Structure 1
Amino acid sequence: MKVIISGGGTGGHIYPAIAIANELKVLDPTTQILFVGAEGKMEMEKVPRAGYEIVGLPVVGIKREFTLANLAFPIKLGRSFLRAQQIVREFRPDAAVGVGGYASGPLLFAASLKGIPTLIQEQNSYAGLTNKALARWAERICVAYPGMDAFFPADKIKVTGNPVRSDIQFADQQIDAGRKLFGLETNRPTVLVIGGSQGARTLNESLEAGLHRFVDAGVQVVWQTGTAFIERARAAVAATGSPLIKAYDFIYEMDKAYAVADAVVSRAGALSVSELCLVGRPAILVPLPTAAEDHQTKNAMSLVDRHAALLVNDRTAREELVTAALALLANSAQRQQLSTEIKTLAKPNAAREIAEEVTKLIN
């Protein structure tokens, strides 16, 4: 069995793709998998780290507002489609999977033209442009949320939830290892702050302004900043003179990060929401307001409406976020309620279900 998996751009696309690949290998260890991503994007680094081969397309995204960069879009799209045709011709896959992101479009379209069955995995509660465009050619569309027939043909949809990294499922077994990894004390509460794979300015600036409040309260912070903010974060941490704050540009061992967290502050990307459900950690979500069709708010509200998470508005986060985090850490009953409710929304077998759908397309 030979499968191409295409897409990327952010961790929210890349890690579900890797989870699907891992499950395909579990179902059939002889499966050959090739990833196709966008040149210069983070998948070109993260996928090889996971042990898979990846090739890049010169594709770029198109801005919703007019920019000079948009003038190059049709040229790069055309070149990417020609390269995708070559990849499909040479690799000869039995199926192609698209997880969203720039590279999915050219690759899945090229595969469809060759009569190769395709599967789309849509992580969000609002379908992305690429996946909506590809839906007419896809044989199967795996989604995380009910009600996605507003975007896709109902007879093609299967609700699977979002696949997450397999190690996340065993986070509770990593508490001691996590404390050792991050240099944490056992008798202090810990908050984990994650702004997604690329960081989050609002979360970073809110935390930066309130670091002293965490230190004064004796709270430990594990803070993923993204690469653009890490030097500024390190300077802010140094200014506190406290060992309680740990700043990292990127955290690879997220199972250990979740394990040590008494509470989590996060954006509301699809992957983050799915992981939080699986690990059952009480969470404060700060949706990215510029996400397409405000889909992060929709993702967050799917939890908030079920009393499974708290929400802080991006616009007021600088004034409210640290206060909300400290209040949650101080309220054990609320943390327990949030943890109990969010666990009921977990989909631990999503990657396996999607991998099985891929094999059905082939067989």
Structure 2
Amino acid sequence: MAKRKKILMTGGHITPAIAVADALKKTNTQIDIVFAGRDTSIEGSNSQSEEARLVNQRGFRFVSIQAGRITRAFTLLTAVGIFRIPFGFIAAFGICLSERPDVIVSFGGYVALPVVIAGWMLAIPSITHEQTLSPGLANRIIGLFAKKICVSFPQTVKDFPSDKTVLTGLPLRESMFHPPKNSPFPLGNKPLIIVTGGSTGAVTLNRLVFPIVENLTTYYSIIHQTGRLDLQNAPDVPNYFATAYLDEPAYAWAIGHADLVVGRSGANTVGEVAVLGKVALFVPLPWSGGNEQYENARYLETVGTSQVLNQKNLTPGKLLGAIEGIFRDKQTYDKKAVEISREFPRDGAVRVADQVMAILSHA
């Protein structure tokens, strides 16, 4: 009987990691998958992280690693993060030695960096996936040690060594292509807007949307993922459904039926919009690393499927005007979105899984 193989997954983008893990388990029964990541949401917090919650929900094993990092704005928590950097490498060595994985699969970020380097020093091969259009520092360093680098965008191939870089597209969870048939939301049949600030919501985005909800619901239905902190401030009006969090089936239904997506422009949101052929209004997070959210969103604006709004000068009135402008020219946006979607692989999770299995076959 063939020896079971073990895969150690780690990194900052959990939903594509989950998508790849699902793809691996679907076709390969003789593998075990373990995730290494942060067990708390932010530095100094006691609340469970999104990655820990999703991994546990999927039934995969999760091990905690408290890796340090250097942030752009120096605070007391930054000092704690810097202090933890060497301990992160020690913890990474401990995880690699105790788990003895056959391959490490990285999804970038400061947590993945010490794990990949520790694996390299222990002769454990690694593969990494870059979700964003413009790679961050951590993934550029990880790319030096990885045997294979997978990227979401064609333009990103040039940022890594050509002999080990492959375009796979963004791994999306299978549910994004097979949403529930029946709506989980008590809304009418008006054109649907989904507002999302990512998995934890975005307070700034909420403050822009709340004042214009009554104007919008005259013509549109709205699903608004506010995050926990702001749900109590959401207005109570017809055709508007506010929730702290959208679980996977509900989110799949919402984005699948959305006529317009309004939100931040993290790699996953932009990738989903592109692959699913959706139209979007993006408000990039101003302080995202390497300005990656702006770069992600700007690409879709350039090809004519989306608009990018600068948070600094944005008001509720300007956001309302932008939404109305999109719908006035909706047919043109829809046509471009469908055209562009054909350029993005829909089987990114399977493509990355195939690359992982190719490395495993020689491990």
Instruction: Trace 1:45-84 onto structure 2 (pairs within 5 A).
Output: 45-84=53-92
- Structure 1 ranges of 4+ moved more than 4 A: none
The counterpart of 1:130, out of the listed 138, 149, 153, is 138
Q: Given the alignment of the two structures, is residue 243 of structure 1 paired with residue 245 of structure 2, yes or no?
A: no
Aligned residues: 346
Kindly provide the amino acid, as one letter, of the partner of residue 286 in structure 1.
Answer: V
Change (3 A) 1:359 1:66: same
Aligned residues with identical type, % of pairs:
29
Instruction: Trace 1:74-153 onto structure 2 (pairs within 5 A).
Output: 74-148=82-156, 151-153=159-161
CA contact (8 A) 1:164 1:351 kept: yes
Kindly provide the amino acid, as one letter, of the partner of residue 21 in structure 1.
Answer: A
Q: Given the alignment of the two structures, is residue 298 of structure 1 paired with residue 306 of structure 2, yes or no?
A: no
Q: Given the alignment of the two structures, is residue 226 of structure 1 paired with residue 227 of structure 2, yes or no?
A: yes
CA contact (8 A) 2:265 2:284 kept: yes
1:64 match: secondary structure: coil
Q: Distance in 1 between matches of 2:245 and 2:311?
A: 22
Instruction: Trace 1:267-286 onto structure 2 (pairs within 5 A).
Output: 267-286=264-283
In structure 2, what is the equivalent of residue 339 of structure 1? 337
Normalised by the size of structure 1, how large is the TM-score? 0.89
1:183 match: secondary structure: coil
CA contact (8 A) 2:170 2:348 kept: yes
Q: Distance in 2 between matches of 1:68 and 1:267?
A: 27
1:107 match: secondary structure: helix
Change (3 A) 1:323 1:119: same
Instruction: Trace 1:17-32 onto structure 2 (pairs within 5 A).
Output: 17-32=17-32
In structure 2, what is the equivalent of residue 289 of structure 1? 286
Report the aligned-residue RMSD: 1.9
Moved more, 37-46 or 326-335: 326-335
* Unaligned runs of at least 5 residues, structure 2: 42-49
Kindly provide the amino acid, as one letter, of the partner of residue 281 in structure 1.
Answer: K
Q: Distance in 1 between matches of 2:173 and 2:71?
A: 30
* Unaligned runs of at least 5 residues, structure 1: none
In structure 1, what is the equivalent of residue 44 of structure 2? none
CA contact (8 A) 1:96 1:118 kept: yes
Note the C-alpha offset of 1:104: 0.4
Q: Distance in 1 between matches of 2:233 and 2:141?
A: 40
2:178 match: secondary structure: helix
Q: Distance in 1 between matches of 2:82 and 2:220?
A: 51
Q: Given the alignment of the two structures, is residue 261 of structure 1 paired with residue 258 of structure 2, yes or no?
A: yes
Q: Distance in 2 between matches of 1:23 and 1:199?
A: 27
Q: Distance in 2 between matches of 1:208 and 1:303?
A: 26
Note the C-alpha offset of 1:54: 0.6
Kindly provide the amino acid, as one letter, of the partner of residue 349 in structure 1.
Answer: D
In structure 1, what is the equivalent of residue 204 of structure 2? 202
CA contact (8 A) 1:312 1:320 kept: no
1:136 match: secondary structure: helix
CA contact (8 A) 2:192 2:222 kept: yes
1:177 match: secondary structure: coil
